[in-house]
Chains A and B, each alone.
Chain A
Amino acid sequence: MSSMRILIIEDDRDAAAYLVKAFREVGHVADHAADGLDGYDLAREGAYDVAIVDRMLPRMDGLSLIGALRAQNVETPVLILSALGQVDDRVKGLRAGGDDYLAKPYAFSELLARVEVLARRRPKGASEETTYRLGDLELDRLSHKVVRAGEEIILQPREFRLLEYLMQHAGKVVTRTMLLEHVWDYHFDPQTNVIDVHVSRLRAKIDRDFDTPLLHTIRGAGYMIRDSAR
């Protein structure tokens, strides 16, 4: 995976140090700003792939910062990190110009997955392809047709959207909550392993009768679709 430049704007130094270290460990470049104004300056100058912004910051709060960046045509994807995790807080955050929202406390694997997916979004139009291909698997977004090794696979509409989202982020970890958000449009944690059951059904359809598995479970994080044969 290619390395990303990540800007962390967070006033809690312990939390920030932990994030910087954790992102560096997985091979990314991470900078840190301890307040809103410093963060704003850094975000404007540096070409970052993603900015992680805490909502409550000294000198300039997170939402104002995002608003100011957007007003300056800085289109760096922003993930809002906040202790306010309720539904309307999230709506407010996204309305202010954030691209994703994660409530504290969070699992680093969740944050990493979301940041990597956000960064990928940057070149606009890339995700507008009408056909996703991965190894011998092909998904046509217009005709809703899925073909593997020349054989058509019949999927339920929801399974199709699941696969579509996974293939859109092929090679990236996608977490259960991300799937719930994008495929079902809900943001809560389901009590049981409902997402796992959906994924295993999808896996049964696309992988079971073939030699190389494409849909992988990433332990402690989520799922990833990738061509392991390569």
Chain B
Amino acid sequence: MQLDAKIPSGPIEQKWDQHRFDLKLINPANKRKYRVLVVGTGLAGGSAAAAMAELGYEVEAFCFQDSARRAHSISAQGGINAAKNYQNDGDSIWRLFYDTVKGGDFRAREANVYRLAQVSNAIIDQCVAQGVPFAREYGGTLANRSFGGAQVSRTFYARGQTGQQLMLGCYQALQRQVSAGRVRVHVRQEMLDVVVADGRAVGLITRDLVSGAVQRWSGDAVVLATGGYSNVFFLSTNAKGCNVTATFRAWKRGAGFANPCFTQIHPTGIPQHGEGQSKLTLMSESLRNDGRVWVPKKAGDPRAAGDIPEAERDYYLERIYPSFGNLAPRDVSSRAAKRMCDDGFGVGPGGRGVYLDFAEAIGRLGEDAVRDRYGNLFQMYEKITGDDPYKVPMRIYPAPHYTMGGLWVDYNLMSTVPGLHVIGEANFSDHGANRLGASALMQGLADGYYVLPYTIGDWLAKAGPAPVDTDHPAFAEAEGEVRARVDKLLGIGGKRSADSFHIELGKVMWNKCGMARTKAGLEEALREIPKIREAFWSDLRVPGSGEQFNQELEKAGRVADFLEFAELMCRDALTREESCGGHFREEHQSDEGEARRDDANFAHGAVWEYTGDGQEPLRHKEELQFENLEPSTRSYK
């Protein structure tokens, strides 16, 4: 596997401009002769499909939801970053670049991040022009707020529904191209394989989730915008349908998978209420400004929070991290909560939770002031848990939220399979080992509106039209494999549901490859996962047939891929003998429990190559060159 990142030469400020000039163009009249297949219609896929159609390409877009508008980008709450410096507080493209590389713990590619910061401003302009109702000041200008990991106010937002509003802007742009006849959106269609022929991606195999029909699609380029894989943990803040199938199938067709162990665990999720729980909901991290985190001093204390006197409470963040206290960074406080619960001090059902207590703040500020600051969050919490946080402490627990790892792409967002492009959360490029808040929406739209439409034109101009159509044997072969796989899932005839295996896998991943990882734990996971997989392929029950609407079959296919992918994740975590960002190996920490990076040996992206079922995948490296920023230890002191 050759890893050529194709980073343009020259000063970082000029790379993208020079590169855009160097890219080959396609005559407007010729663009319509090229067909691009886009999988996923979230912020990355939707914006890419719309922007490419505006340029004149023929686009086929696919999503498994019942409308392009429902892609999981819609759930993002906080906001979107841009280096506008509207607040006159010292922001700049360089500062956004610096914050993002540092936030990612120096495991991202400088040139990509700089370009991201450069195009961030145009995203805001475009979204405003589409009618995205961003928050405004009374004078009519755009409002900003500050967000984690930055000392400037650069985050644009639309109440707590920023993702939804950007998503609708992008969906509307997409539907406009549908009305212009340049995009066809195929809803309730799941991509089950990429077709590679003559050394390039030439098409897809999909399954129509309503009729069950397996279909072939040919195109001159393929774009995957299929999101992240946090659902490998079963419980995460992701939508239920989010899955790894598209990127994992592409991996098996030759695309390198980079840094799969880089996952982000958000510290303030609402904890699991019991075994029947299907997903986790996030509570804004801002609550830690006034809430105090504690657990009972006695393990397994059965008393209600209010009955535990002050002297018998352990405000462990304040105790362990006296200088930061309850505002300890995300990864530190997430790991501390897990340790408390592992040691038996956790509260609530299953002992997987810690208190976030507002009693002190209510006493100091009054209930009205607390309601002003956090009223809507308190209400949301009450709806889900039935507890009134004005009277009893909230319970919180860390939740898997985002995956920085993904398919490896070069500067042009193309994977190691020629013609196969990967954008948004599905690729690995911009966030390194940890993503800062309000950067995911920025990256999805940057890739889709402002990067891919340029770079894909260059590739199409050089590669020319795909030399094959759906009659090529590669399509028949891929379709045959998809059909065989569907039949195999249906034919096991066991007793257990796909969900039951998914839950079992999720527990292993959470305990052994979650917030804190050890060599021994990862090795155990690598022994346990194949056992679950074996049980899956011998005791799964999928009722019904493949020629119908069959939600159990959909789930089974996704779980089957998670069961293989999980091993890759653990293997990556095992070989990365350092702690950085969201990847914390307990063997590699300072005396204070901080992550200890190893720049001498691990300042690279780890890129895994598929070598066959049952074979060890190969680990390749893309060495990261820091020519503009000096990798430093992230300090929280």
A binds B: no
